[in-house]
């Protein structure tokens, strides 16, 4: 996977690629990256990258010309049908919501170009010509796209083949439509709080069952929307469905 980040603040994203697991993946050649400073593609004396919007309104917009040149330098292609086209993503609060399913989809690409906005956004013509996906990392407004680009890079690179073991991915949050089970390490008793007995039992089948029950319990309590969506998509196996039913029954009985 190759990531190219287009930004006015390259030092923000540079640091991320030096972090431990990412650095290992880069060393092994599984991940490659390039950070492009959009300002290097502004051709006037002051390297201007922004101007006021036509039609008035608050704030400044990023200029199309430096952005267009930076995108071309990154290998972005005009239009949609090109056999070796990197997928171009523009980070914006008005994009489609980012989630684990989209992370998996993007992790399957050969190359992502992440375009980080500043100010009030970018000229629409750049979006129309080059951008494949407008993506938001949540319903809040950040001061710029760099933090959002890092979220997308972090969530996707770890899903790229060989970056981390598949066992670590199997039971983490969102896999199979459930949140992760609670985890414990030494000591057995921390300030009077004991590790659940089952985890000390060495009984693998019981431990597996306990963890599944905890995943369902936690997801029902914190993210009932995930359970509903999983049910609609037929995502859950028989055992999980019966645990959901059991917990719902207990909940109803409590209310009676």
Q: Which residues are near ligand ADE by CB under 6 A?
A: 91-93, 136-138, 140-142, 145, 148
User: Distance of CA 194 to CAs 31, 180, 191, 197, 205, Å?
Assistant: 42, 20, 8, 8, 21
Is the CB of 137 or the CB of 212 nearer to ligand ADE? 137
CA-to-CA distance for 175 and 171, rounded, in angstroms? 6
Cβ proximity to ligand ADE: between 94 and 253 the closer is 94
- Whose Cβ is closer to ligand ADE: residue 146's or residue 217's? 146
Q: How far is the CB of 164 from ligand ADE (least distance, A)?
A: 25
Look at strands 50-51 and 61-62 and give their pairing: antiparallel
CB of 92 to ligand ADE, least distance (A): 5
Q: How far apart are CA 64 and CA 229, in angstroms?
A: 40
Strand partners, 4: 34, 113
Nearer to ligand ADE, 91 or 216 (CB): 91
Choose between 7 and 92: whose C-beta lies nearer to ligand ADE.
92
CA distance 230 to 235: 5
- Least distance CB 18 / ligand ADE (angstroms): 23
State the minimum distance, in angstroms, from the CB of residue 6 to ligand ADE.
Answer: 13
Give the shortest CB-90-to-ligand ADE separation in angstroms.
Answer: 8
Around Cβ 91, how many Cβ atoms within 10 Å? Answer: 27
């Amino acid at each position: 996977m190759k990531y190219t980040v287009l930004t006015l603040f390259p030092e923000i994203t540079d640091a991320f690629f030096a972090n431990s697991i990412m650095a290992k993946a880069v060393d092994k050649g599984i991940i490659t990256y390039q950070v492009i400073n959009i300002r290097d593609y502004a051709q006037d004396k002051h390297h201007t990258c922004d101007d006021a919007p036509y039609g008035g309104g608050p704030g400044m917009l990023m200029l199309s010309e430096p952005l267009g040149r930076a995108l071309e330098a990154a290998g972005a292609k005009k239009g949609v049908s090109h056999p070796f086209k990197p997928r171009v993503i523009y980070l914006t609060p008005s994009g489609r919501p980012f989630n684990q399913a989209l992370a998996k989809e993007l992790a399957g690409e050969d190359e992502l170009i992440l375009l980080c906005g500043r100010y009030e956004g970018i000229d629409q013509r750049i979006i129309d010509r080059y951008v494949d996906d407008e993506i938001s990392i949540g319903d809040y407004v950040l001061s710029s796209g760099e933090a959002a680009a890092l979220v997308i890079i972090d969530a996707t690179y770890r899903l790229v083949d060989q970056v981390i073991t598949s066992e670590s991915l199997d039971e983490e949050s969102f896999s199979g439509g459930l949140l992760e089970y609670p985890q414990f390490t030494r000591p057995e008793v921390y300030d009077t709080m004991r590790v659940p007995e089952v985890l000390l039992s060495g009984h693998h089948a019981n431990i597996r069952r306990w963890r599944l029950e905890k995943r369902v319990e936690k997801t029902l309590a914190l993210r009932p929307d995930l359970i509903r969506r999983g049910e609609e998509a037929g995502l859950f196996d028989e055992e999980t469905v019966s645990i959901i039913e059991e917990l719902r029954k207990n909940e109803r009985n409590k209310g009676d």
